[in-house]
Amino acid sequence: MRIIDIRECTVGLEGNVANALVNFRDHTVSLVALLSDQQRDGKPVVGFGFNSIGRFGQSGILRERLIPRLRVARDEELLTADGLSFDPGAFAKISMRNEKPGGHGDRAGAVAALELAAWDLKAKLADEPAYQTIRKYFNLSSNSNSADVYAAGGYYYPDDSLSRLQDELKTYQDMGYEAFKVKVGGAPLSDDMRRIESAIAVAGAGKRLAIDANGRFNMRQAEQMAKEIEALELRWYEEPGDPLDFELNKHITEIYHSAVATGENLFSVIDTKNLIQFGGMRAGKDIFQMDPGLSYGLTEYVGMLGIMEASGFKREQCYPHGGHLINLHVVIGLGLGGCEAYPGVFQPFGGYSSQIEVQEGRILPSDAPGFGLEQKENLYPHLQLLSETVDGKN
């Protein structure tokens, strides 16, 4: 059993939306394909992965550093000890050979795309959805095959209004979502408060609405917002300040009684350890949003869960960033708190396939093998193009 080719391409994200800091007009994602020598129905089995959403494709790092290291690895180095299946952790480890410690940024997403493609491949070779493969690999006993899900949206649009925001959330309600997240920090506080109140009017209660400042606020602004929203008892208050400003995060957890959420911009076990040691996160209350697709993949992510659980936190406090099929399987497979969805944006990677239902705020994956990326109609052409026969041979 061996990998016969490793391919990557860069795919542009559709849409023109903005959070408090970033416009996503020019954002890209790296799609990776691992072509195996195994076949199903006369075709080679291919594992697909991508580096989540929001931090750009990584073609340079993939082509110049990571993929060449995997190409020169011996076949057996990529297999489990018994030689019977692929070992996704080995893909991450080998692709990181001769990399220095620290600097967990772009390369963490590039490694993740490869590692997650190995999970897709492993699940397809076992003829099962990825969440089952993940659950077995880590010896987890959960039987749940659905996850809590909320609709993330409420971005700032070039032509924005409160009624547009309310219409957006109503659309999500019609799809079956019962909890929502909207952006703050991109407008004056009084305007943002009107956005929040308009959103609650649709959501029905503060506990059904989270807000996300995307790290925009300084200490004073983060405090001001905390005081303004204190009585609303929101679902959570996300990334009030810089994701690495542990002092600010700790301060907000001390003055704000509802949940604080953060972690989507921490990409390693050691950064997560620092958040836990220095960031004031509260066991049983605050939300961790690290995203395996930006963080060296599932193997590193499970290391983060280990640090969390050793420190008294529960994995149910985890709602990974990145509303897409890969993280849906991660959430169900690992028994996390839930996942997000971007029903309208970040196509073709964001959101779920048409086979997947949202019912009363919960989401159920299909029984497609792997992450089921092939079932996403607008993503499928990219998968096909990347994995098709080259030079007349597979």
Q: What's the CA gap between 303 and 168, in Å, rounded?
A: 37
Contact between 328 and 157 under an 8 Å Cβ cutoff? The reply is no
Q: What's the CA gap between 66 and 369, in Å, rounded?
A: 26
Q: Which residues bind a copy of itself (CB under 8 A)?
A: 10, 21-28, 54-61, 63-65, 98-108, 214-215, 242-247, 265-268, 270-271, 273-274, 277-278, 294
Closer to a copy of itself by Cβ: residue 108 or 363: 108
Closer to a copy of itself by Cβ: residue 274 or 375: 274
Beta carbon of residue 289, minimum distance to a copy of itself (angstroms, whole number): 12
Read off the tokens for 23.
């416009």
Beta carbon of residue 134, minimum distance to a copy of itself (angstroms, whole number): 25
Closer to a copy of itself by Cβ: residue 48 or 246: 246
**Taking the CA atoms of the chain, what radius of gyration do you get in angstroms?**
20
Beta carbon of residue 113, minimum distance to a copy of itself (angstroms, whole number): 13
Torsion angle of C-alpha atoms 105, 110, 114, 116, degrees rounded to 10: 50
Q: What's the CA gap between 38 and 287, in Å, rounded?
A: 40
Read off the tokens for 273.
């350890």
Question: Any alpha helices (H) in the chain, and if so which ranges?
Answer: 59-61, 67-71, 88-95, 106-125, 130-137, 162-175, 189-203, 219-229, 246-255, 269-278, 298-310, 325-334, 380-387
Beta carbon of residue 243, minimum distance to a copy of itself (angstroms, whole number): 4
Beta carbon of residue 359, minimum distance to a copy of itself (angstroms, whole number): 33
Closer to a copy of itself by Cβ: residue 247 or 316: 247
Angle at 238 between CA 237 and CA 244, to 5 degrees: 130
Closer to a copy of itself by Cβ: residue 58 or 299: 58
Catalytic residues: 183, 321
Contact between 10 and 57 under an 8 Å Cβ cutoff? The reply is yes
Q: What's the CA gap between 226 and 205, in Å, rounded?
A: 17
Read off the tokens for 288.
């961790």
Contact between 86 and 121 under an 8 Å Cβ cutoff? The reply is yes
Closer to a copy of itself by Cβ: residue 95 or 265: 265
Beta carbon of residue 93, minimum distance to a copy of itself (angstroms, whole number): 13
